[in-house]
Amino acid sequence: MADNIALKAVNDGDTSLQKGAVSGPAGPKPRPVVSARNIIVYGTLFVAAVYYLIPLYVMVVTSLKGMPEIRLGNIFAPPMEITFEPWVKAWATACTGLNCDGLSRGFWNSVRITVPSVIVSIAIASVNGYALANWRFKGSEFFFSVLIIGAFIPYQVMIYPIVIILREIGIYGSLTGLIIVHSIFGMPILTLLFRNYFVSLPEELFKAARVDGAGFWQIFLQIMLPMSLPIFVVAMILQVTGIWNDFLFGVVFTRPDTYPMTVQLNNIVNSVQGVKEYNVNMAATILTGLVPLVVYFVSGRLFVRGIAAGAVKG
Amino acid sequence: MTGQAKAGRPFKLFRNLNSKIASIPMILTAMVIFLGGTVWTVVYSFTNSKLLPRLNFVGIEQYQRLWAAPRWVVSIENLAIYGILSLIFSLVIGFMLAALMDQKIRFENTFRTIFLYPFALSFIVTGLVWQWILNPEFGVQAVVRSLGWTSFSFDPLYTSEIVIYGVLIAALWQGTGLVMCLMLAGLRGIDEDIWKASRVDGIPMWRTYLFVVIPMMRPVFITTLVIIASGIVKVYDLVVAQTSGGPGISSEVPAKYVYDYMFQAQNLGQGFAASTMMLVTVAIIIVPWAYLEFGGGRKRG
């Protein structure tokens, strides 16, 4: 930017003041509020923000309209008459095939899948990460490498062998089976997350506990756990949104009466029979997206940390 | 920290026993599911399994049939178009948003929240919303037409030539926030002195970005690239929700082919062969990257 250079000349004298300032590419701080640069920056960001917000807006607006109004008007117009009927219908009476008890069943199925899956996967991965960080044994790093490489293998490659294994054990199609599957596929990233966290803790802490005679579980439960609350929260955010949003495992490993919410939502909206009720569909879509959205808005910065942690896999 | 000291030490195997017990789930997952499952699928892709997996080897017949199937070829073409475009666009858009966010702007948190919220939503929700917005009767096309431009035509979901771009729009909406976040973290890692130096030298900002900052952010770009790429190969739910592969077969993707042949058409051999091809695709992306990052990285490790 040209004006940067000009400003630089003016403010060169006080760059020392800027040393401690927030890092970033922008020029010295004092500058007019309305400048060509600001208009471009905020203008572009604003347009982008509108693009990102439109789908949410359209979802909400559509779900509050009646069908006649949808047929007449355009999808961006706010509702003339607000009705909550689509929401009630989506929750309680929308049909998938022969079942007409709405999304509520899928919601409770998803709860019954997500809660145990999150607990089991985090329990396994945290203990495992701790073992890998502090109690290495011969071959532990090798198994860990295989686990991490496995995170990149498309699920489709491993799905059928899992189907066979679960069928042999006799839990194929049950929620238990799906919970196991979620724990398996959550393992690489969670183990990496916990391992890296425990490695970053000061080693003296562990050594001191060892000298005092504490064992594997004692150190974990009494020293490591209380210190690692933030990383548990990050793992929970990662898992709750991931498992809630899952579709593939739900459709492969459950039966129609135990389908999670995403699968049921897709069946409701994309069913070929009947008149399309767009307002009900959109209400159902929002309902399904609500849980991860609430997690997202409540957790804020931790969510970003979670996905950043999830992103560094490999 | 290799072992729990035990009097006598009866077996080497029992040393550090608790840690080994704690690692059993990981060992089983890594060896049985990830390694074993993959090998199993690859082996059975050379058989003529139909309804049930059988060890009746037929060589590469399944692969010949796979590549002769129009639906698979369309899937691969779609994956290539979708993959290349979504890589380019999400990197460019993500980087540009990150660069804008890095201008010491106000309301940074608000903007970040807005750009990232779609990433919290599932592909099913994303697909269904965009299916509605791109609906030709009520969506964008109808709205623009009602404003007076009656010949306006934008109907990606029902036009087989451009349907994959409709999917792309939805995917970019969902995923660019993540790229933006990763890029922003990368930009924040750039030393402030770099910017000062380039200002002193009077280098325009865009040149600093292009020739100094982006090369410095190479590791961030590569990591992002790998994340996006391995996500692209797996794309499945989005297509199922948004188009169900239609119109006809024009928005099919490999992951959907695998699922349909394994669980609907009861033609396991085809499903295994197709999933093995997916594995090969991922390997083509991952292996060179892993080699660059970790090859000879024993010292760093």
The pLDDT assigned to B10 comes to 58
The pLDDT assigned to A11 comes to 42
Distance CA A174, CA A167 (A): 10
Count structural domains, chain B.
Answer: 1
Chain B nearest CA to A189, separation (Å): 12
The string of DSSP codes covering B245-299 is T-STTTT--HHHHHHIIIIIS--HHHHHHHHHHHHHHHHHHHHHHHHHHHTTTTT
Write out the residue range of the structural domain in which residue B175 sits: 63-294
> If you measure CA to CA, which chain A residue comes closest to B172?
A52
Residue B58 falls inside a structural domain: no
The phi and psi torsions of A99 (rounded to 5 degrees) equal: -80, 130
The pLDDT assigned to B185 comes to 86
Spell out where chain B has E strands: none
Calculate the average pLDDT of chain A: 84
> If you measure CA to CA, which chain A residue comes closest to B118?
A52
Residue B56 falls inside a structural domain: no
Residue B45 falls inside a structural domain: no
- Structure token digits, residue A307: 């996905």
Is the CA virtual torsion B29, B34, B37, B43 positive or negative? negative
The phi and psi torsions of A254 (rounded to 5 degrees) equal: -125, 165
Q: Cβ separation of B275 and A248 shorter than 8 Å?
A: no
Report all structural domains of chain A as residue ranges with CATH numbers, in order of start: 33-83 (no CATH), 104-311 (1.10.3720.10)
The pLDDT assigned to A28 comes to 57
Give the angle subtended at the CA of A226 by the CAs of A216 and A131, to the nearest 5°. Answer: 30
Pick from B6, B97, B108, B121 the residue to mutate for testing the A interface (most A CBs within 10 Å): B121
Residue B38 falls inside a structural domain: no
Residue B102 falls inside a structural domain: yes
ipTM of the predicted structure? Answer: 0.86
Residue B279 falls inside a structural domain: yes
Tell me the CATH number at B238. Answer: 1.10.3720.10
Chain B residues with beta carbon closer than 8 angstroms to that of A74: 138, 142-143, 146
Q: Under a CB-based contact definition with an 8 Å cutoff, are residues B50 and B269 in contact? A: yes
Tell me: pLDDT of B109 over 70. yes
Cα B221 to the center of its chain, rounded Å: 15
> pLDDT by residue (tens digit) across A263-289?
999 988 888 777 788 889 999 999 999
The phi and psi torsions of A302 (rounded to 5 degrees) equal: -65, -35
Residue B33 falls inside a structural domain: no
Q: Cβ separation of B100 and A44 shorter than 8 Å?
A: yes
Q: Is B195 on the interface with A (CB under 8 A)?
A: yes
Distance CA B63, CA B61 (A): 5
Distance CA B116, CA B93 (A): 13
A133 forms beta bridges with none
Tell me: pLDDT of A249 over 90. yes
Mean pLDDT of B133-157: 85
The pLDDT assigned to B295 comes to 64
Nearest to B37 among A161, A289, A314 (CB): A161
Which tops the pLDDT comparison, A9 or B82? B82
Chain B nearest CA to A9, separation (Å): 9
Tell me: pLDDT of A10 over 80. no
The string of DSSP codes covering A27-73 is --S---SS-HHHHHHHHHHHHHHHHHHHHHHHHHHHHTS-HHHHHHS
Residue B35 falls inside a structural domain: no
Q: Under a CB-based contact definition with an 8 Å cutoff, are residues A103 and A287 in contact? A: yes
The pLDDT assigned to B300 comes to 39
Mean pLDDT of A235-263: 91
Distance CA B153, CA B144 (A): 9
Q: Is A120 on the interface with B (CB under 8 A)?
A: no
> pLDDT by residue (tens digit) across A43-82?
999 999 999 999 999 999 999 988 888 888 788 888 888 8
Ranges A7-16, A139-148, B117-126, B204-213: which has the least confidence: A7-16
Q: Is A60 on the interface with B (CB under 8 A)?
A: no
| Nearest CA among A156, A255, A26, A170 for reference residue B75 | A156
> pLDDT by residue (tens digit) across A108-123?
999 999 999 999 999 9
Q: DSSP label at B272? A: H
A254 forms beta bridges with A173
Chain B residues with beta carbon closer than 8 angstroms to that of A159: 262, 275
Tell me: pLDDT of A254 over 80. yes
The pLDDT assigned to A179 comes to 94
The pLDDT assigned to B141 comes to 86
Nearest to A147 among B26, B241, B258 (CB): B26
Three-class SS of residue A96?
A: strand
Mean pLDDT of B215-239: 86
Tokens 């431009």 correspond to: B149
The pLDDT assigned to B226 comes to 81
Nearest to B181 among A24, A153, A307 (CB): A307
> pLDDT by residue (tens digit) across A197-239?
899 888 898 899 989 988 899 999 998 999 888 889 989 988 9
| Terminal-to-terminal C-alpha distance of chain A | 38
Q: Is A275 on the interface with B (CB under 8 A)?
A: no
Q: What percent of chain B has pLDDT over 90?
A: 43
Nearest to A217 among B18, B100, B282 (CB): B18
> pLDDT by residue (tens digit) across B242-278?
998 878 889 999 999 999 999 998 899 999 999 999 9
> pLDDT by residue (tens digit) across B35-92?
999 999 999 999 988 888 888 888 888 999 999 999 999 999 999 999 999 999 999 9
Q: Cβ separation of B122 and A244 shorter than 8 Å?
A: yes
Mean pLDDT of B132-142: 87
Q: Under a CB-based contact definition with an 8 Å cutoff, are residues B127 and B237 in contact? A: yes
| Nearest CA among A172, A169, A182 for reference residue A125 | A182
Calculate the average pLDDT of chain B: 87
Nearest to B34 among A49, A134, A150 (CB): A150
The pLDDT assigned to B3 comes to 45
Pick from B49, B132, B221, B258 the residue to mutate for testing the A interface (most A CBs within 10 Å): B132
The pLDDT assigned to A26 comes to 58
The pLDDT assigned to A70 comes to 85
Three-class SS of residue A173?
A: strand
Q: Under a CB-based contact definition with an 8 Å cutoff, are residues A300 and B110 in contact? A: no
Nearest to B26 among A143, A217, A313 (CB): A143
Which tops the pLDDT comparison, A96 or A262? A262
Chain A nearest CA to B37, separation (Å): 5
